[in-house]
A and B are shown apart, each in its own frame.
Chain A
Amino acid sequence: MSVDIRSQAEAPEAAPRAITLTVNGKRYSARAEPRKTLADFLREDLGLTGTRVGCEHGSCGACTVLLNGAAVRSCLMLAVQADGQELMTIEGLADGNQLHPIQQAFWEEHGLQCGYCTAGIIMSLYEMLRRNPKPSDEEIYDTLGGHLCRCTGYQDILKSAKLAIKLIGG
């Protein structure tokens, strides 16, 4: 399809935009460059460094957070898209010093070694258990399939997931 380039407008100035969002129940107002990913924004601007960045193209799952309750890749969203939305990150899970049952399960079953993948995996499991407290093995595999771990060999992560289901009472 031919397009007349001369009739095209110049791209507008990419100045930072004011955004307001809720993260782990707390409201934040900040300015975000339109090109900044949500993952970088959470880490660099809000100081929530529990969310990790691995591959930046959706494959590894390290950056997974909850957006209005759904597990999503924060490296594949722009910070400005989170304006007005509700997010939850790994920092929102524990109640003071009391670990969340999923965290407790990872602790007990040695579900982590270096821990780089862990925050993302826990957020995905959190969504899975919200949708269905008694997931089938297939659902667990489907959920964990969206994450890469270079250390554990996955078996202890699977055990952790199963213990978490028990602790939560599924």
Chain B
Amino acid sequence: MEEAVGLLGLYGPEAKILAGGQSLMPLLNMRLARPSVIVDINRIGEMDYIRPSDGGIAIGALTRERRVEDDPIVAERLPLLAALVKWIGHPQIRNRGTVCGSIAHGDPAAELPAAALALDAELAVVGKSGTRTLSPDDLYLGYLATSLAPDEIIREVRFPGLPANAGWSIQEVARRHGDFALVGVIAVLGLTEGRISEARLVCFGVGGRPVRFPEIEGQLVGSTPSEDLFSATARQVSASVDPDGDIHASAAYRKEVAGVLTRRALEQASERAKGGIQS
């Protein structure tokens, strides 16, 4: 790892890390990126791991997305994440693509950056000038722009576990299964004595980076789950997102779908929290 950081420091912005290559290689093949030095980190030992950490899990820089699907520690501590990675591309992509690579790349329609934001993940970053810890909120600046310096590598991502009373849901609309999301929503709801004690809501595919809604989350806390509440929240989310339109979907469509998926996500998360959905 020190050698990789050293090389990145030596060649500066001309150098790029190659992890799973499932985002970088297409860019190279299409000549959309033309770095003069590629630093392949695939042979760095002991970076392919999933470990328990403080009630949650820690995932190393070379852990492939596929491994998360049927890892026993993930299944026990954070089943949301096992379900989430199945939305990423296809098994053949997940066999190479890494969890940390997806988070570092930061595609606004990608699942893992949105999950990192929703789950308050911590990113352990190593660079020329030492190590630091970053939150996903501080990482994502805008479209494929992050606050990582050219010599910095995400060495590990740590996802805290969810409280036992929490339910979750992942909702996504894409043109075909395995495509990047047109719009996606991740919701987590904790219920205590019938009232919402914790709420997290993240929308992705609706702008330059995944978005979280702290104010809307705050309003949910203390309320009793109901159809009316979730419909009202859906309208709020729909009104506050500001997506771009492109060849795949118009901005108006994305706004509408963000609302619909928010309602479905809250309903499902609430059902799960009540124990109505297995796993």
Residues of A at under 8 Å CB distance from B? 1, 3, 5, 7-9, 11-12, 34, 37, 56-58, 61, 64, 67, 70-73, 75-78, 80-81, 124, 127-128, 141-143, 145-146
Contact = CB atoms under 8 A, between A and B. Distances in A.
Nearest to A39: B29
A28 B65 CA distance: 30
B201 to A, nearest CB: 28
A77 B25 contact: yes
Contact of A57 (B12, B29, B149): B29
Contact of B90 (A5, A11, A75, A145): A145
A14 to B, nearest CB: 9
B172 to A, nearest CB: 14
B264 interface: no
Given A34-B38, A76-B25, A145-B178, A61 B11 contact: no
Given A8-B11, A57-B30, A77 B92 contact: no
A162 to B, nearest CB: 18
Interface residues of B, number: 32
A146 B89 contact: yes
Contacts of A7: 12
B12 A8 contact: yes
A7 B176 CA distance: 47
A11 B96 contact: no
Nearest to A70: B95
B13 interface: yes
Given A8-B12, A12-B37, A76-B25, A58 B93 contact: yes
Contacts of B37: 11-12
Contacts of A58: 22, 25-26, 89, 93
A8 B38 CA distance: 15
B12 A5 contact: yes
Interface string B175-199: 0111000000000000000000000
The 5 closest A-B pairs by CB, nearest first: A146-B90, A57-B26, A11-B36, A76-B25, A8-B12
Given A8-B12, A77-B21, 9 more contacts: A1-B150, A56-B26, A61-B92, A70-B95, A76-B26, A80-B40, A128-B91, A143-B91, A146-B90
Contacts of A145: 90, 176-178
Interface string B146-187: 010110000000000000000000000000111000000000
B229 interface: no
B10 A76 contact: no
A76 B96 contact: yes
Given A11-B14, A58-B93, A142-B90, A3 B150 contact: yes
Nearest to A83: B43
B42 interface: yes
19 contacts: A1-B150, A3-B12, A8-B12, A9-B10, A11-B14, A56-B29, A57-B30, A58-B22, A61-B90, A61-B92, A70-B66, A71-B92, A75-B29, A76-B22, A78-B40, A81-B18, A128-B91, A142-B91, A143-B91
